[in-house]
Amino acid sequence: MLKREKISARQFRILVILSFVGTTILLVPSTLAAEAKQDAWIAAILGLVFGLLLVWFYNIVGSLFPNITIIEYQERLFGKWIGKFFSLLFASFLFLNCSTILFTVGDFITTQLLPETPIQFTILFFLLVAIIATRLGLEVFARAAEILFFWVFVFFIILILFLLPELEFKNLQPIFENGMRPILRGAIYYSSYSSMTNIVLLMIFPTCVNNIKQGKKAFYIGTFEAGILILFISLYSILVLGHDISSRSVFPTYILAKKISIGDFIERIEVIIAFIWFITVIYKTILYFYGSVIGFAQILNLKDYRPLTLPLGMILIVLSLTVFPSTLHEAAWTATTWIPFILTFSFFLPLLVLIVSVLKKKIKGKR
């Protein structure tokens, strides 16, 4: 058995926000604009509603196992072998997703900031932080999140305020031009990046949160706050850039930050604004890495998870470089495989866990 670490509900809320915003802030404005055109912001609201429904579902699933992680619970529920099989699948899913997150951030830095630096090094430095954070443990990086979240908030406010003069409200019209279908598709893509990937939190929730009742509330509030943040970003990318440019750019949020120009004086601050997603993406990486390391440790019944961090980290660097052969491959994968892939692990697997556990209880009750 691993030692349990405890975090407060407030720290959990911040982790929810950082993980939700994670890579979403980089990828989603473009996808939403491509799907829902000028109605991208409606899709963002709808996606937030989906997110809250999903939190409701996770809270129900989470309350099945208040003192253990989902991986341990699966073993208890399905028996040793089938349970280990499901747990291995789930831990591998977390591990694989961690590599795609690293690919995304490496891709961003290579495309926009440091085109000549080998991507291995940008990924290596990101991963090093994640490994150190994981070795120090949940309590430490949750506390660090409290400090860093302040800066995410400050830079977000700067972005929102400084872009006010650039808003072009006619970019929003006509509303509902293409009906609900594209909006719905956009919303599903959006929640697949944000709320669905928050399944990783079931590795720390509710077992590591010191007050489960408050923790559940924090899950809702965190998702809501992060959803509002993404709503603003996608609304702004339509208002400032228009849906054409938003959907055509790979990283519209960065283009958005480039647009800041106050009195020919405050400009070219996009790299400072990029701190928002450097922090959120690193936390998403940390959570996924921590989740998969804890998961593997629990499958193998280790007393300490730390010996796994370095070997898994080394594998992860190679994996993140080979997981997609090119950015185009990533785009094709996102368009076809991603949604069923994420749905399997973030919806159907917990649903299966829930159904089996309810059935088991009923059978037990009959006896």
Partner 1 sequence: MKGKQILLLILIVLINMNTGCWNRREINELSIGTAVGIDKSEDGYLVTVQLINPGEVASEKATERTAVTTYRASGETVFEALRKLTLETPRKIYLAHIRILVFGEEFAKEGIGKALDFISRDHEFRTDFYILIAKNTKAEKLLNVLTPVEQIPANKVFTSLKISEKAWASTYHVQLDELISGIISEGKNPVLTGVIIKGDPETGMNISNLENVDPPTTIQIRYIGVFKDDKLIGWLNEDESRGYNYIMDHVSSTIVNVPCENGKVGIELIRTKAKINGDVEYGKPKIDIKIWVEGNVGDVECEVDLTKTKNIYALEAKVQKKIKKEIESAIKKAQDNFKSDIFGFGEAIHRAAPKAWKELKTDWDRREFQDLEVNINVTVKIRRIGTIMKSFQKEAKE
Q: Name the residues that contact partner 1, by CB under 8 A.
A: 111-118, 121, 170, 173-174, 177, 241-242, 244-245, 255, 258-259, 261, 267-268
For partner 1, the closer of residues 2 and 132 by Cβ is 132
For partner 1, the closer of residues 177 and 355 by Cβ is 177
For partner 1, the closer of residues 56 and 121 by Cβ is 121
For partner 1, the closer of residues 193 and 254 by Cβ is 254
State in angstroms the smallest separation of the CB of 251 from partner 1: 10
State in angstroms the smallest separation of the CB of 42 from partner 1: 15
State in angstroms the smallest separation of the CB of 122 from partner 1: 9
SS3 of the chain: the string is CCCCCCECHHHHHHHHHHHHHCCHHHHHHHHHHHHHHHHHHHHHHHHHHHHHHHHHHHHHHHCCCCCCCHHHHHHHHHCHHHHHHHHHHHHHHHHHHHHHHHHHHHHHHHHHHCCCCCHHHHHHHHHHHHHHHHHHCHHHHHHHHHHHHHHHHHHHHHHHHHCHHHCCHHHHCCCCCCCHHHHHHHHHHHHHHCCHHHHHHHHCCCCCECCHHHHHHHHHHHHHHHHHHHHHHHHHHHHHHHHHHHHHCCCHHHHHHHCCEECCCEECCHHHHCHHHHHHHHHHHHHHHHHHHHHHHHHCCCCCCHHHHHHHHHHHHHHHHHCCCCHHHHHHHHHHCHHHHHHHHHHHHHHHHHHHHHHHHHHHHHC
State in angstroms the smallest separation of the CB of 116 from partner 1: 3
State in angstroms the smallest separation of the CB of 173 from partner 1: 4
For partner 1, the closer of residues 63 and 117 by Cβ is 117
For partner 1, the closer of residues 81 and 169 by Cβ is 169
State in angstroms the smallest separation of the CB of 258 from partner 1: 6
